[in-house]
Homo-oligomer: A and B are copies of this chain.
Amino acid sequence: MTKARDEFSIISRYFSAIGDADPNTLLSVGDDAAVVDIPAQMQLVVSTDTLISGIHFPQETSAADIAYKALAVNLSDLAAMAADPAWFLLSLTLPHSDDDWLRPFADSLNQTAQQYGLELIGGDTCRGSLSVGIQIGGLVPAGQYITRKGASPGDLILVSGELGNAGLGLASIQHKIELPEALDATCRQALNRPRPRLQLQSFLRQFASAAIDISDGLQADLAHILKSSNCGATVYQDQLPVNQWIQQQAAYEYALNAGDDYEICCCIAAANETQIGRWNQDHPDCRLSVVGHITDSGYLLDNGESDVDLATVAAGYQHFD
């Protein structure tokens, strides 16, 4: 089958020097594979996330925002594992080779890669409907990675930042809601430019019993922790960190189910509760909020009036009884 004839020129023109060269990279873009050293006492953390136009981002999203977000959602996976970003591969599928799209895409990819200490070491480009696949590699000192398994009854459930903003941004773009101007800008920014919470690394390594990044909404992602840890949870609606608009409209479904926030949800032993205040004092841009606690079984939302069963509200979460 014939590939895009310009695959090689696209790679050499746009993607041969993205991010900062890493001394552990022995062979980078331009061979059959890349070769990297893994420093002694470190373990490799790898993940992949693909963004598809019209599914993971609105079709009108700018090339620069797509490049940023493709890296950010993968960096967010490393953040949830408490790993350090190292390198990435890019699988780019494009309907046609277009400098007006590729140039800002490559520039934004480069800027973001440099910001987070990543080097592009390989990948492929194909012709087809637009999708951006990133495979990311990170490093963690042996045994210090955090998984979804490890939460236990009594643990506090924390989330970083605010939940629901990305979902509001999408609803606004889709003309489903109308937001005040400043909030609208904030929410569209949250949708297009989610911030991977890599700064939580030391907190997670020291205190977290389990962690996950919130890509599908707190309800679904916390459910993964519960399933892996074989626990239940109670979440308090009035403790969810949301903006005033969500509070006033009681539109908590954006915080629980809209997804795309890429905040971190983690669990810590209740004995470490005082660490939260310390963290928040030093990190006003990445505040942690207690939103509930881990229980033996059941998955409930206390909305102030009654307990809503989160395990049966949506399909797929029926395994927590």
Contact across chains for A36 and B32 when beta carbons are under 8 A apart: no
Residues A34 and B45 in contact in the complex (CB < 8 Å), given A5-B315, A5-B316, A89-B135: yes
Docked CA distance A81–B26 (Å): 13
Q: Which residues of B sit under 8 angstroms from A127, Cβ to Cβ?
A: 52, 55
Docked CA distance A292–B260 (Å): 55
Docked CA distance A142–B24 (Å): 12
Docked CA distance A27–B83 (Å): 14
A40 interface residue (CB < 8 Å to B): yes
**Least CB separation from A81: chain B residue:** B33
A30 interface residue (CB < 8 Å to B): yes
Within the complex, the shortest CB–CB distance from A298 to chain B, in Å, comes to: 20
A44 interface residue (CB < 8 Å to B): yes
Docked CA distance A2–B56 (Å): 7
Within the complex, the shortest CB–CB distance from A317 to chain B, in Å, comes to: 10
Within the complex, the shortest CB–CB distance from A170 to chain B, in Å, comes to: 7
Docked CA distance A245–B30 (Å): 35
Docked CA distance A127–B2 (Å): 25
Q: Which one of A118-126, A155-163, A274-282 contacts B? A: A118-126
Which residue of the partner chain, among B32, B48, B121, B213, contacts A77 with CB atoms under 8 Å?
Answer: B32
Q: Which residues of B sit under 8 angstroms from A15, Cβ to Cβ?
A: none
Within the complex, the shortest CB–CB distance from A75 to chain B, in Å, comes to: 11
Residues 156-215 of A contacting B (Cβ, < 8 Å): 170, 211-213
Residues of A within 8 A of B (CB-CB), count: 71
A129 interface residue (CB < 8 Å to B): yes
Contact across chains for B124 and A93 when beta carbons are under 8 A apart: no
Docked CA distance A57–B126 (Å): 13
Residues 258-295 of A contacting B (Cβ, < 8 Å): 259-260
Which residue of the partner chain, among B9, B44, B123, B140, contacts A44 with CB atoms under 8 Å?
Answer: B44
Docked CA distance A124–B315 (Å): 19
Docked CA distance A149–B32 (Å): 11
Which residue of the partner chain, among B5, B44, B80, B131, contacts A32 with CB atoms under 8 Å?
Answer: B80
**Least CB separation from A166: chain B residue:** B1
Docked CA distance A142–B48 (Å): 26
Residues A131 and B93 in contact in the complex (CB < 8 Å), given A35-B81, A46-B122: yes
Q: Which residues of B sit under 8 angstroms from A40, Cβ to Cβ?
A: 40
Residues A38 and B38 in contact in the complex (CB < 8 Å), given A48-B135, A316-B8: yes
Residues A47 and B34 in contact in the complex (CB < 8 Å), given A3-B216, A133-B91: yes
Identify 11 new A-B residue pairs, CB closer than 8 A, beyond the known A33-B77, A33-B80.
Answer: A1-B55, A1-B170, A2-B55, A3-B259, A32-B47, A35-B44, A37-B44, A40-B40, A89-B135, A126-B131, A135-B135
